[in-house]
Amino acid sequence: LSAKDLHEPHCYLHELSEYDHVHRILWLCTVHILRNILKAKVSEEVKQLMRSLICITHNNFDLAVHNIQRLGETAGTNWVQDKIQSKFAFEAMCWEKSKIPLDIWKAGNSSTNLAEGLHADVNCEGIQCSLVGGIRRTQHFDM
């Protein structure tokens, strides 16, 4: 017996890819996102565009991403490409892009000490792992 996905009821959970599952359970630590944006070698205008992507909804997400690349030049383009290549970062920054129920997204707190502790534990286990490799390596963690 297989369970159906809550977000897309026509799909069964076993049919989802690893990234499909991640889009349903993960959002990024805002402390780390904001720290990385602060360090970015881009203008304050571009940093504001980057910060605007950490949201529930966005008036024009795709235009903001485009402007980060255009105005941020190489550093902005690299930042965007890093998020795209991860296959989960934008979905984990903006609820509208994720498949997490809104009430769960709102109830969660991605900058708590618990989240920080789990983040530190996972980082001790495998730095520079791919997302899937990191998931497999840390399956024993109680997240």
What is the pTM for the complete model shown?
Answer: 0.75
**Residue 143: pLDDT band with limits 50, 70, 90:** very low
pLDDT digits (tens, 9 = 90+) for 8-58: 889 899 999 889 988 888 888 888 899 999 999 999 999 999 999 999 999
**2-11, 92-101, 117-126: which has the minimum mean pLDDT?**
117-126
The Cβ of residue 94 has, within 10 Å, a number of other Cβ atoms equal to 21
Find, among 143, 117, 139, the residue nearest to 129 by Cα.
139
Query: What confidence score (pLDDT) does residue 120 get?
Result: 62
Find, among 58, 102, 101, 64, the residue nearest to 83 by Cα.
64
